[in-house]
Structure 1
Amino acid sequence: MDKVIPFLMFQDGKAEEAMNFYTSLIEDSEITSIVRYGSNEAGEEGTVFQATFTIKGQEFMCIDSNVKHAFSFTPSFSIYVACNTEEEIDELYGKLKEGGQTLMPLGNYGFSKKFGWLNDRFGVSWQINYV
């Protein structure tokens, strides 16, 4: 076994938009490869056949699914981010929350100084913690 990589499947041609959004929010993050569907292929031309990106060194893979599934992302799997300052958590949580859904608003829940859980506008779940 070489490695284990979280894999995100987008269903509405949003993979590239999501990667650009995530890598713009967190320093030391980048899109490392994109392979797109071409003309006359199974997916919509120009959408993501397969891509990889990193967030703070953690590698992810993603696709734009060419098949519409009856399921999407679930909060039972989330991306966990440990923030070093209160300013950092406030800014990141605020940007991820835009167009998304709050699961637990930023607050002190007794297990950390400040914690929040949300689904972003793409449906991906994030836990943001101020440690």
Structure 2
Amino acid sequence: MQNIVTNIWCNGNAEAVGQFYASVFPNTRSWVESRYPHEGLLDFQQSLAGEPLTVAVDLDGMRLTLINAGPEFTPNPSISLMLNFDPILFGDDAMAARAQLDAVWAAFLDGGTVLMPLQEYPFSPRFGWVQDRYGVTWQLILSDASGEVRPFVMPSLLFGGPVQDRAAEAVDYYIQVFPDAELGMRVPYEVDSGPRRRAR
């Protein structure tokens, strides 16, 4: 059972965003879950009367909720969705996993922006970070077939700027808050760096 559902703020286009994600991924569908009423709306909501309020996306078994609203907020790279292309999920076929990763990358790149190029890195033979045409960021990684199997979709939180170096602290806190949570892999940087360290 999925305990945490990722919600994504959309600027009046949640239905189109959901349809786009359904076209990018296999085994994925989207549907309008609720609509704004025609009466009783606040002034700034009048243009949304009768329009979708929330759009649900079932991304290969993981639920996302798209909130249809206005331009008050926009997605940013501090929260992204990591996609694990594990050969185990593709019948132990590394080439199939890589081909699917490349296909999803190409779809996101259409109208999107590269944050980290799709290439080999010390932590993965193929990784890339992209912001799609709707401002949502995705990290695509070709996982190690010999390692621990991870979910295909994992929400990822970025701790930078004034909260740099506090990710471990946040993890410890979340483990206390959620009764079924458990610690996964923890990989520290080999050398302290960044603006928070320099500011001390």
Same fold (TM over 0.5): yes
Aligned to 1:126: 138
Aligned to 1:68: 71
Deviating more after overlay: 33-42 vs 118-127: 33-42
The answer to whether residue 86 in structure 2 is matched with residue 86 in structure 1 is no
Residue from 89, 98, 110 that aligns with 2:110: 98
Higher relative helix content: 2
Deviating more after overlay: 99-108 vs 20-29: 20-29
In 1, the alpha carbon distance for the partners of 2:130 and 2:71 equals 24
Q: Is the 8 A contact 2:15 2:31 kept in 1?
A: no
Q: Is the 8 A contact 2:15 2:32 kept in 1?
A: no
The answer to whether residue 26 in structure 2 is matched with residue 27 in structure 1 is yes
Aligned to 1:4: 4
Instruction: State the secondary structure of the residue aligned to 1:108.
Output: strand
Shift of 1:61: 1.1
Q: Is the 8 A contact 1:33 1:53 kept in 2?
A: no
Instruction: State the secondary structure of the residue aligned to 1:18.
Output: helix
Unaligned runs of 5+ in 2: 88-96, 144-200
Shift of 1:68: 3.2
Instruction: State the secondary structure of the residue aligned to 2:48.
Output: coil
Unaligned runs of 5+ in 1: none
Q: Is the 8 A contact 1:14 1:122 kept in 2?
A: no
Structure with the greater relative contact order (CA < 8 A, sep ≥ 6): 1 or 2? 1
TM-score relative to the length of structure 2: 0.58
Shift of 1:32: 4.8
In 2, the alpha carbon distance for the partners of 1:24 and 1:45 equals 27
Alignment of 1:100-115 (within 5 A): 100-115=112-127
Shift of 1:38: 4.2
Shift of 1:47: 2.9
Over aligned residues, Cα RMSD in angstroms? 1.9
Deviating more after overlay: 54-63 vs 40-49: 40-49
Higher relative strand content: 1
Shift of 1:33: 4.4
Identity of aligned residues (%): 27
Change (3 A) 1:115 1:87: same
Instruction: State the secondary structure of the residue aligned to 1:23.
Output: helix
Instruction: State the secondary structure of the residue aligned to 2:121.
Output: coil
Q: What is the aligned length?
A: 127
Residue from 49, 53, 58 that aligns with 1:49: 53
